[in-house]
């Protein structure tokens, strides 16, 4: 098994290793692919000369499962995996998910809730004197006191609760290499205050310039203090001017050092040039492998970071706003490796990143000065300094699609159509439609009401309609029948029931029927989550309406799929509540009929769960199907 990271004592013997320098505990099954963070960190450390082993999805009920690779010489590394473990397990309605794509065979139950905490405690029990460093998306976005949707509470920093020795936030390559060197030289504690991109606990305030945000105790008891703390944390996430931030937890301080500097192109190329097998570990073959690999196995990540600043997305807090792109040579080299794989069929599933067409810095000054504090680059209105050129991305697409053995290169990661419009680039759309779309192109307007899209950090309805016109025109000229598949979100902070009705009317007019609806999930670390919890926009201080009640959220979600018969009662209730009975009927602009087709009035009244009739039904007036008075039976 020399092609993979060490996973057993047999692997260690095969390499002649008596001990490991690092043992990496992961909540995901082990997939040796650069889209899986444990593989990246493990491969990078191995490249730097360290002996690394991985224990994927250990049995947290059995401490011995954490000892299978022996005591690590330098440190234990812990990650929950590619997703927050609570998001991985629960839906927006807090119901259990039926599958786990990051586990063998898609089976559920292979990781604990709050996996970072559980795994850290287990490693402490297994090797009490070995430093534990936590990282990954769960640790990164829970590094400060944060709102936890699943418990509906404000929780302490995950570093405090886990009692780990250090936390890596962000992507982590620079940090883990520096921490490894410090551990190897016996200078771990001395180096903690100077390594960028990490957090640690301290009993005293560090020296030097810092910003102190409201304490855990304050943000837990005062929503205004929570909003203030979030604003400080949000504004200090730039690697060029971001300050050290401290937040008191009891008698100790959580210390966040300034963010790590962006990877140079040479550095990011090196990360993706490491010898990944791009396969799940053979130990999962019997269960059919790991489903999450399917979408990314033959995809190419061209860059990191996103200057879109969508409020509901935590990329600003994790990857940052500054784009770090790979060279064309590195991407072509990776594509050629994929072409040589036995199960490659000629199709590259994606060529992009968090946002596919954000291939370079938003503007030249970001290279040395960082992203502007308190301003956005792309939306709701593009900055006058925004570099909207698609030349490099177009050239890259051409180079990859012209490789021998490649039949098609798709663009499936998010495409910012407002960025294309700002570039006034109809040629890019036509080329995209001709070579890189297969029937459908997914885009994410998220909503169409301006006050909602402004809060979301998205472009308005006019942008979407203009892009659709360009897209349809390009396909008409090409003689292709291809369609936009827009994603919309329900129940986002700022979205009223009236706004949801307006979105339903838009879907009616556009003849769109969403197959899936994404209900807003308040995940840790995002601006939208801070608004959801506090009812305040942290960056402006203005109050924001938030749909929190389950029934209110259900009505908004149902309106987006108003044609679904199962949603009839909720849609009808929403329309009556917003005084939009004009949308109930048989006219061309109506969303639903007076009653479900094929049912009598009495049968529908009895099936309406929002009304519980007893006895006879007494109706009066012309609109008796809307207004019903239920009278008890006479004894």
Distances (CA, A) of 340 to 290, 298, 344, 434: 21, 11, 7, 26
Higher pLDDT, 375 or 30: 30
Q: Phi/psi of residue 122, each to 5°?
A: -65, -40
- Alpha carbon distance 281, 278 (integer Å): 9
Helix crossing, 497-509 with 568-577: angle to 10°?
A: 120
**Confidence at residue 473, expressed as pLDDT on a 0 to 100 scale:** 97
How distant is the alpha carbon of residue 541 from its chain centre? 25
Task: For residue 23, give the H/E element and its range.
Answer: strand 22-26
- Alpha carbon distance 296, 33 (integer Å): 9
Beta bridge partners, 213, equal 247
**Confidence at residue 635, expressed as pLDDT on a 0 to 100 scale:** 37
Query: Are the beta carbons of 507 and 563 closer than 8 angstroms?
Result: no
300-358, pLDDT tens digit by residue? 999 999 999 899 998 888 999 999 999 999 999 999 999 999 999 999 999 999 999 99
Mean pLDDT of 170-185: 97
Query: Are the beta carbons of 466 and 448 closer than 8 angstroms?
Result: no
Mean pLDDT of 195-217: 95
- Alpha carbon distance 282, 301 (integer Å): 24
Q: Which residues touch 348 (CB under 8 Å, ≥6 apart)?
A: 298, 299, 300, 335, 338, 400, 406, 408, 409, 410
Using a 10 angstrom Cβ sphere, with 0-12 exposed, 13-18 middle and 19 or more buried, the burial of residue 428 is buried
How distant is the alpha carbon of residue 17 from its chain centre? 38
Query: Are the beta carbons of 523 and 140 closer than 8 angstroms?
Result: no
- Alpha carbon distance 290, 105 (integer Å): 6
Distances (CA, A) of 253 to 57, 146, 259: 31, 15, 18
**Confidence at residue 515, expressed as pLDDT on a 0 to 100 scale:** 77
**Confidence at residue 619, expressed as pLDDT on a 0 to 100 scale:** 37
97-119, pLDDT tens digit by residue? 999 999 999 999 999 999 999 99
Mean pLDDT of 405-421: 93
Whether the pLDDT of residue 1 is over 80: the answer is no
455-490, pLDDT tens digit by residue? 999 999 999 999 999 999 999 999 999 999 899 999
Whether the pLDDT of residue 86 is over 50: the answer is yes
Residue 104: CB atoms within 10 A of its CB come to 22
Residue 124: CB atoms within 10 A of its CB come to 18
Q: What is the pTM of this model?
A: 0.91
Q: Say if strands 483-490 and 303-304 run parallel, antiparallel, or are unpaired.
A: unpaired
Whether the pLDDT of residue 611 is over 80: the answer is no
Give 418's DSSP letter: H
- Alpha carbon distance 71, 15 (integer Å): 17
**Confidence at residue 314, expressed as pLDDT on a 0 to 100 scale:** 86
Give 274's DSSP letter: S
pLDDT band at residue 208 under the 50/70/90 scheme: confident
pLDDT band at residue 513 under the 50/70/90 scheme: confident
238-254, pLDDT tens digit by residue? 999 999 999 999 999 99
- Alpha carbon distance 535, 144 (integer Å): 19
Residue 411: name the closest of 457, 364, 471 by CA.
471
Where in the chain do CATH 3.40.50.2300 domains reside? 9-200
Share of the chain above pLDDT 90, in %: 88
pLDDT band at residue 573 under the 50/70/90 scheme: very high
pLDDT band at residue 598 under the 50/70/90 scheme: low
Share of the chain above pLDDT 70, in %: 94
Which residue matches tokens 């899936």?
516
Q: Where are the beta strands (DSSP E) in 88-236?
A: 132-135, 146-148, 153-155, 166-168, 198-202, 210-213
- Alpha carbon distance 376, 385 (integer Å): 11
**Confidence at residue 599, expressed as pLDDT on a 0 to 100 scale:** 59
What does the mean pLDDT of the chain come to?
92
pLDDT band at residue 627 under the 50/70/90 scheme: very low
**Confidence at residue 316, expressed as pLDDT on a 0 to 100 scale:** 84
Does the domain at 9-200 match CATH 3.40.50.1360? Answer given as no
- Alpha carbon distance 635, 632 (integer Å): 9
Does residue 265 sit in helix, strand or coil?
A: helix
| Burial profile 393-418: b = 16 or more Cβ within 10 angstroms, e = fewer | bbebbeebbeeeebeebbbbbbbbbb
How distant is the alpha carbon of residue 152 from its chain centre? 20
Distances (CA, A) of 452 to 277, 456, 538, 546: 44, 6, 16, 11
Using a 10 angstrom Cβ sphere, with 0-12 exposed, 13-18 middle and 19 or more buried, the burial of residue 64 is exposed
Residue 353 has, within 13 A of its CA and on its CB side, a CA count of: 22
Whether the pLDDT of residue 526 is over 50: the answer is yes
Mean pLDDT of 508-513: 92
Distances (CA, A) of 277 to 55, 107, 150: 18, 23, 36
């Amino acid at each position: 098994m020399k092609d993979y990271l060490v996973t057993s004592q047999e692997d260690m013997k095969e390499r002649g290793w008596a001990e490991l320098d690092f043992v990496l505990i992961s909540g995901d099954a082990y997939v040796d692919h650069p889209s899986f963070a444990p593989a990246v960190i493990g491969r990078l450390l191995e490249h730097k000369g360290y002996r690394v082993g991985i224990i994927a999805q250990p049995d947290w009920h059995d401490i011995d499962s954490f000892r299978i690779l022996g005591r690590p010489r330098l440190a234990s590394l812990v990650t929950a995996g590619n997703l927050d473990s609570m998001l991985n397990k629960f839906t927006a309605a807090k119901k259990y998910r039926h599958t786990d794509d990051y586990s063998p065979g898609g089976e559920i139950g292979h990781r604990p809730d709050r996996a970072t905490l559980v795994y850290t405690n287990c490693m402490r029990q297994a090797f009490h004197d070995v430093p534990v460093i936590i990282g990954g998306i769960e640790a990164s976005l829970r590094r400060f006191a944060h709102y936890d949707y699943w418990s509906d509470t404000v929780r302490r920093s995950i570093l405090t609760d886990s009692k780990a020795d250090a936390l890596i936030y962000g992507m982590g390559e620079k940090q883990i290499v520096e921490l490894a060197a410090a551990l190897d030289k016996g200078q771990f504690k001395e180096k903690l205050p100077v390594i960028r991109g990490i957090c640690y606990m301290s009993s005293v305030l560090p020296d030097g310039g810092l910003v102190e945000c409201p304490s855990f105790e304050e943000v837990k008891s005062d929503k205004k203090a929570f909003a203030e703390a979030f604003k400080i944390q949000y504004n200090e996430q730039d690697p060029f001017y971001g300050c050290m931030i401290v937040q008191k937890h009891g008698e100790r301080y959580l210390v966040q050092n300034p963010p790590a500097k962006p990877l140079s192109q040479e550095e990011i190329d090196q990360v993706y040039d490491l010898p990944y097998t791009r396969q799940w570990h053979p130990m999962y073959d019997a269960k059919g492998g790991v489903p999450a690999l399917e979408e990314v196995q033959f995809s190419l990540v061209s860059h990191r970071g996103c200057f879109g600043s969508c409020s509901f997305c935590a990329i600003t807090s994790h990857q940052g706003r500054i784009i770090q792109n790979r060279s064309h040579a590195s991407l072509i080299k990776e594509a050629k490796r994929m072409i040589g794989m036995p199960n490659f069929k000629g199709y590259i599933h994606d060529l992009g990143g968090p946002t596919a067409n954000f291939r370079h810095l938003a503007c030249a000054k970001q290279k040395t000065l960082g992203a502007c504090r308190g301003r956005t680059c792309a939306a709701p209105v593009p900055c006058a300094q925004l570099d909207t050129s698609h030349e490099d991305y177009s050239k890259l697409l051409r180079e990859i699609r012209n490789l021998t053995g490649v039949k098609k290169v798709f663009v499936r990661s998010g495409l910012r159509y407002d960025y294309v419009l700002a570039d006034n680039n109809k040629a890019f759309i036509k080329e995209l439609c001709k070579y890189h779309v297969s029937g459908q192109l997914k885009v994410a307007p998220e909503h169409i009401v301006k006050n909602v899209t402004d809060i979301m950090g998205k472009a308005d309805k006019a942008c979407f309609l203009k892009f659709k016109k360009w897209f349809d025109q390009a396909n008409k000229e090409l003689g292709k029948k291809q369609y936009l598949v827009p994603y919309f979100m329900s129940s986002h902070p700022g979205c009223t029931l009236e706004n949801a009705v307006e979105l339903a009317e838009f879907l009616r007019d556009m003849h769109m029927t969403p197959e899936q609806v994404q209900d807003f999930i308040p995940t840790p670390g995002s601006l939208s989550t801070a608004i959801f919890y506090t009812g305040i926009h942290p960056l402006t201080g203005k109050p924001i309406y938030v749909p929190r009640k389950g029934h209110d959220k259900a009505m908004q979600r149902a309106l987006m799929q108003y044609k679904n018969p199962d949603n009839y009662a909720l849609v009808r209730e929403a329309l009556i509540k917003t005084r939009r009975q004009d949308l109930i009927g048989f006219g061309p602009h109506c969303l639903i009929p007076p009653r479900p087709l094929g049912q009598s009035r009495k049968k529908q009244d009895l099936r309406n769960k929002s009304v519980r009739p007893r006895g006879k039904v007494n109706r009066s007036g012309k609109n008796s199907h809307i207004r019903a008075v239920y009278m008890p039976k006479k004894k």
